[in-house]
Amino acid sequence: MCPIRRCLMKERYVIVGAVIVAVFLAGCTGGPGPGMPTPPPPSLTPIVPVTTFPTLPVTPPENISVNWAGYVVETTFEYPDKNAIEAVEAVWNVPAVNCSSAERKEYSSAFWVGIDGFSSGSVEQIGTDSDCIRGSAVYYAWYELYPRDSVTLDLVITSGDEIHAKVMYLGDRQFMFSLTDITSNQSVYLNETTTTTVERNSAEWIAEAPVYRHQILPLSEFGPVEFMNVSVTVNGTTGPIISDQWEYRSIVMEAPDGTLKAFPTGVVNENRFTIIWEHR
């Protein structure tokens, strides 16, 4: 069974102002890469609806995307500094997905931290997927350094696992990618160099609906995903999402017809928030 991220061409769609900017990322065309095949999925955990979350008194400015939900940080959104973002990280639990109505269709949800992508053409990211493939739940971890293909990591991932992920810039176009499955005590650390000029002007914490053949895949039905211990390093200063050293915005995922698909809650204690699934 081939993880969606390793089989499909991916595209990024983010609405900036009133213009949808599509950044096309070349995905692989074969099966799983250097990673181990994903094991048979465990039994699904029932998704318990959650109706209320604590939020900040002040709601941050909001952006709308057709396939991203989460938060983004830049030095300023009007004139973001280039070469400012040095590291981004967070902890989350891999959400179970409900594939009971997926039948033979492919539904996908990706959860990641990354540098770039909000207002630039490059993306340096690492995360996990909770997908439905032919009616079965599939979980795996991956990283991507555009323009290279995404790579499935050699980790056995199951729903509920606690994940710590980080992307850090090392200099000379080299990035460090790390992902630790705290639950199963598995870790991967990789240093990769890009030949592409990168902006390093944004940091993101995102739930994403990947794209196949210019069509956004249905967003697999996941339980609430809390991003915890959220941290970013900007121009040598490390801190949470909320800081007087930079600006932050929420991103809400909406279909072109206005249907709400996923949204982040307000930020709690400056460094944690939850993404809620609403619609495929």
Least confident of 57-71, 161-175, 258-272: 57-71
The predicted model gives 87-97 an average pLDDT of 98
Residue 171 to residue 51: CA distance in whole angstroms? 44
Q: What token pair was written down for 143?
A: 């990283």
Contact at 8 Å (CB) between 151 and 144?
Answer: yes
Contact at 8 Å (CB) between 140 and 2?
Answer: no
The predicted model gives 191-201 an average pLDDT of 93
Contact at 8 Å (CB) between 149 and 26?
Answer: yes
Mind listing the pLDDT tens digit for each residue in 213-249?
A: 778 899 999 999 999 999 999 999 999 999 999 999 9
Residue 56 to residue 248: CA distance in whole angstroms? 13
List b or e across 174-187, with b for residues whose CB sees 16 or more CB atoms inside 10 angstroms: ebbbbbbbeeeebe
With H, G, I as helix, E, B as strand and everything else as coil, classify residue 6. Answer: helix
Residues 170, 122, 97: CA angle, nearest 5 degrees? 100
Q: What are phi and psi of 4, to 5 degrees?
A: -55, -45
Within 10 angstroms of residue 24's Cβ, the number of other Cβ atoms is 15
- Closest C-alpha among 56, 53, 51, 52 to residue 267: 56
Mind listing the pLDDT tens digit for each residue in 94-128?
A: 999 999 876 667 899 999 999 999 999 889 999 99
- pLDDT, averaged across the chain: 82
Residue 174 to residue 194: CA distance in whole angstroms? 6
Q: What are phi and psi of 6, to 5 degrees?
A: -90, -10
Q: What token pair was written down for 231?
A: 């941290």
Q: What is the pTM of this model?
A: 0.82
> Strands 247-254 and 62-65, how do they pair?
parallel
Contact at 8 Å (CB) between 128 and 149?
Answer: no
Give all domains of the chain, ordered by start, each with its CATH number. Answer: 4-39+63-277 (2.60.120.700)
